[in-house]
């Protein structure tokens, strides 16, 4: 074999080739720069597979012992950041196997890959990596939700306008607004349970595509690696990346929720609203205008959502036309996955910090309340006195019109003027013009009364105490 053949023969796949790759192709083909972050998962999978080879009598007890000690040594080098990646290392699998061979010798190390393909190896690594990543996201979500519930309890008495169509609609508690996102984030956090179940399926033992011919005990592998079940079909197992799409969609949906959360707070922090003031820790200034305090943390959260949506859509576009089993296009999955996971970890932590450190201006919130926002309360007042809601709604509209005609707010209308619209208005009608009374009438579950909001907080706090991922 000539020098070039020996060069290509050094690769896991090189025996069939007689010439080196083009240098650009060599670089283009490599994934070690980004998939090296799965070194721990790759070693974990290899150790389990080595034991399964021993159980199948394909290697001796001495050989499996040597493999396990060698893999532990590789693990320690990565842990100590002393592992040296070489030019020939295409990916994390090649790098670890090459180093194992140097430590225990190629005769024993070369047996580790018996019946295993990088096709089933890489998808196993990715599932192991995501499984751990979901635990990180679970903890971060709990931090975010806890930040919201703590603020909701702290600021329970603050009243503010609630909005529809970006128009002031009805009075609500600031804490009720907070818990609208607390509820959404709890729902998102709880959806990690079915997502985790989709991840926790073992593909190892599927080979390149046709399966494993050496009577490998896949049930043992699943138990050893903590998977709940094994993949049903080897063709599907090596080409399936639906679980990555599921993770990307979960993160994309969360990013959209956080973007809406950020948009609200950006508006509320403007001088025009003035409801909240952001901590300096999550704000920046202007290079030209010294007076500016920009909500850059929130704006970046909002901006990241667009990038993450694009990443998710791009991955789906990559997947849509692939023929069955493994194709090299799937190397792109990890670039997208790692990028989105890294970004969203930052986003969640920034959002948690912002909500925990901002200050509110209850007086400014309350000053934004206006009596026209109590028009529905006028209708409810009449409903409680036996008038059908549609009729009461019409009468409340007449009250609004009467105030506009007189050029005053509704609370300035006299009882006589109200009685002229409906005789059902009585001496106690002035109680309508009380914002605290307004919010307290919404005592049904899910409403904005104090008791209802406190109940929401209690339920979310109880829900988030559980450890849903193990």
pLDDT tens, residue by residue, 194-229: 999 999 999 999 999 999 999 999 999 999 999 999
- Which two structure tokens, joined as six digits, stand for 109? 């190390």
pLDDT in tens, 296-317: 999 999 999 999 999 999 999 9
pLDDT of residue 15: 59
pLDDT of res. 287:
63
Q: So what's the pLDDT on residue 179?
A: 98
Q: List the CATH number of the domain containing 137.
A: 1.20.200.10
* 93 and 133 part of one domain: no
Q: Quote the domain boundaries for residue 44.
A: 31-114
Q: Look at residue 21 and tell me if it is in a domain.
A: no
Question: What's the pLDDT at 1?
Answer: 31
Cα(388)–Cα(55) distance, integer angstroms = 78
Four-point Cα dihedral 13, 15, 17, 20, nearest 10:
70
Question: For position 3, what pLDDT does the model report?
Answer: 37
- Confidence band, pLDDT 50/70/90 cuts, at residue 294: confident
Chain centroid to Cα 195, Å, comes to 11
User: What is the C-alpha to C-alpha distance for residues 64 and 394, in angstroms, rounded to an integer?
Assistant: 83
| Residue 299 burial class via C-beta count within 10 angstroms: exposed 0-12, middle 13-18, buried 19 and up | middle
pLDDT in tens, 66-83: 999 999 999 999 999 999
Residue where one domain finishes, among candidates 114, 139, 173: 114
The arithmetic mean of pLDDT across residues 269-290, rounded, is 84
What is the reported pLDDT for 178? 98
* pLDDT tier at 14, thresholds 50, 70, 90: low
The mean per-residue pLDDT over the stretch 282-290 comes to 71
4 lies in a domain?
A: no
Confidence of residue 6 (pLDDT cuts 50, 70, 90): very low
pLDDT score, position 466? 77
Phi, psi of 374 (to 5 degrees): -100, 15
- pTM of the complete model: 0.91
pLDDT at res. 350:
96
- 464 within a domain of the structure (yes/no): no
Domain count, the chain: 3
- Judge if 362 and 379 occupy the same domain: no
> Do 36 and 125 fall within a single domain?
no
Q: What is the pLDDT of residue 436?
A: 97
Q: Hunting for tokens 């979310």 — which residue is that?
A: 460
Please tell me whether residues 217 and 284 are part of one structural domain: yes
Q: Say yes or no: 203 and 322 in one domain.
A: yes
Q: Are residues 106 and 139 in the same domain?
A: no
- CA 118 to CA 121: how far, in whole Å? 5
Report the CATH number at residue 56.
Answer: 1.10.275.10
Instruction: For residue range 16-32, list pLDDT tens digits in order.
Output: 555 566 888 888 889 99
- What's residue 282's pLDDT? 87
- H-helix or E-strand containing 192? helix 192-199
Pairwise CA distance, residues 100 & 108, whole Å: 9
**Is 75 in the same domain as 149?**
no
Cα angle value 15/17/21 (rounded, 5°): 125
Tell whether 162 and 310 lie within a shared domain: yes
Q: What is the mean pLDDT of residues 359-383?
A: 96
Report the distance separating Cα 307 and Cα 304, nearest Å: 5
Distances (CA, A) of 300 to 18, 156, 259, 346: 51, 28, 9, 10
What is the Cα–Cα distance from 408 to 340, expressed in whole angstroms? Answer: 54
Q: What is the pLDDT of residue 254?
A: 98
Categorize the per-residue pLDDT at 2 as very low, low, confident or very high, splitting at 50, 70 and 90. very low
Q: Is the pLDDT of residue 289 over 80?
A: no
Asked if residue 277 has pLDDT above 50, the reply is yes
Give the domain-ending residue among 88, 114, 140.
114
The reported pLDDT for the residue numbered 465 is: 86
Q: Which of 149-163, 185-199, 454-468 has the lowest mean pLDDT?
A: 454-468
Section 367-392 average pLDDT: 96
Residue 250 falls within a domain, yes or no? Answer: yes
pLDDT digits (tens, 9 = 90+) for 138-172: 999 999 999 999 999 999 999 999 999 999 999 99
Phi/psi at 227 (5° precision): -90, 145
pLDDT at res. 27:
87
Classify 166 in phi/psi space as left (phi over 0), alpha (psi -120 to 50) or beta. Answer: left
To the nearest whole number, what is the mean pLDDT of the chain? 93
In a domain, 467, yes or no: no
- Of 71, 87, 114, the residue at which a domain comes to its end is 114
Burial of 34 (0-12, 13-18, 19+ CB in 10 A): middle
**Does the pLDDT of residue 9 top 60, yes or no?**
no
Specify if 20 maps to a domain.
no
Percent of the chain predicted with pLDDT > 70:
93
Q: Are residues 277 and 319 in the same domain?
A: yes
Evaluate if residue 253 carries a pLDDT over 60.
yes
Each residue's pLDDT tens digit, 314-368? 999 999 999 999 999 999 999 999 999 999 999 999 999 999 999 999 999 999 9
Cβ proximity of 67 and 109 under 8 Å: yes
- Both 345 and 248 in one domain: the answer is yes
376 with 433, same domain: the answer is yes
Residue 284 maps to a domain:
yes
Say which CATH number the domain at 406 has: 1.10.40.30
Q: Which residues are catalytic?
A: 165, 286
E strand or H helix that includes residue 72: helix 61-79
Backbone angle region of 57, left / alpha / beta, with phi > 0 → left and psi within -120 to 50 → alpha: left
Confidence of residue 235 (pLDDT cuts 50, 70, 90): very high
Residue 211 in domain: yes
User: Is the same domain home to 162 and 54?
Assistant: no
């Amino acid at each position: 074999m000539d020098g070039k053949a020996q060069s290509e023969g050094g690769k896991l796949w090189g025996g069939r080739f007689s010439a080196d790759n083009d240098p650009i192709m060599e670089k283009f083909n490599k994934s070690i720069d980004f998939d090296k972050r799965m070194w721990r998962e790759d070693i974990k999978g290899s150790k389990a597979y080595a034991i399964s080879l021993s159980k199948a009598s394909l290697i001796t007890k001495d050989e499996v012992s040597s493999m396990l000690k060698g893999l532990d040594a590789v693990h320690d080098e990565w842990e100590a950041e002393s592992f040296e990646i070489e030019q020939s290392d295409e990916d994390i699998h090649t790098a670890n196997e090459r180093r194992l061979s140097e430590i225990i010798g190629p005769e024993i190390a070369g047996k580790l890959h018996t019946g295993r393909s990088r096709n089933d190896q890489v998808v196993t690594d990715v599932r192991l990596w995501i499984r751990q990543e979901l635990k990180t996201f679970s903890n971060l979500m709990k931090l975010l939700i806890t930040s919201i519930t703590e603020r909701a309890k702290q600021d329970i008495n603050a009243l503010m306008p609630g909005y529809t169509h970006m128009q002031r609609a009805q009075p609500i508690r600031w804490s009720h607004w907070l818990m609208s996102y607390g509820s959404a984030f709890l729902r998102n956090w709880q959806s990690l349970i079915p997502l985790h179940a989709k991840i926790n399926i073992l593909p190892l033992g599927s080979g390149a595509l046709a399966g494993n011919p050496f009577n490998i005990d896949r049930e043992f592998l699943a138990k050893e690696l903590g998977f709940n079940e094994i993949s049903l079909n080897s063709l599907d197992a090596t080409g399936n990346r639906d679980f990555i799409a599921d993770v990307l969609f979960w993160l994309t949906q969360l990013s959209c929720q956080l973007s809406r959360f950020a948009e609200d707070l950006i508006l509320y922090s403007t001088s025009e609203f003035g409801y909240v003031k952001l901590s300096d820790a999550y704000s920046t200034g202007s290079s030209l205008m010294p007076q500016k305090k920009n909500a850059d943390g929130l704006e970046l959260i909002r901006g990241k959502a667009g990038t993450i949506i694009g990443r998710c859509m791009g991955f789906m576009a990559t997947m849509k036309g692939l023929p069955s089993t493994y194709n090299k296009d799937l190397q792109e999955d990890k670039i997208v996955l790692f990028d989105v996971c890294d970004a969203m970890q930052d986003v969640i932590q920034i959002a948690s910090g912002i909500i925990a450190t901002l200050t509110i201006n209850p007086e400014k919130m309350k000053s934004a309340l206006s009596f026209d926002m109590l028009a529905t309360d006028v209708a409810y007042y009449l409903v409680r006195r036996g008038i059908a809601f549609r009729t009461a709604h019409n009468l409340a509209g007449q009250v609004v019109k009467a105030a506009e005609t007189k050029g005053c707010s509704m609370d300035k209308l006299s009882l006589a003027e109200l009685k002229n619209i409906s005789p059902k208005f009585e001496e106690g009608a002035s109680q309508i013009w009380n914002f605290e009374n307004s919010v307290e009438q919404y005592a049904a579950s899910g409403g904005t009364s104090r008791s209802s909001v406190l109940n929401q907080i209690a339920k979310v706090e109880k829900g988030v105490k559980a450890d849903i991922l193990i």
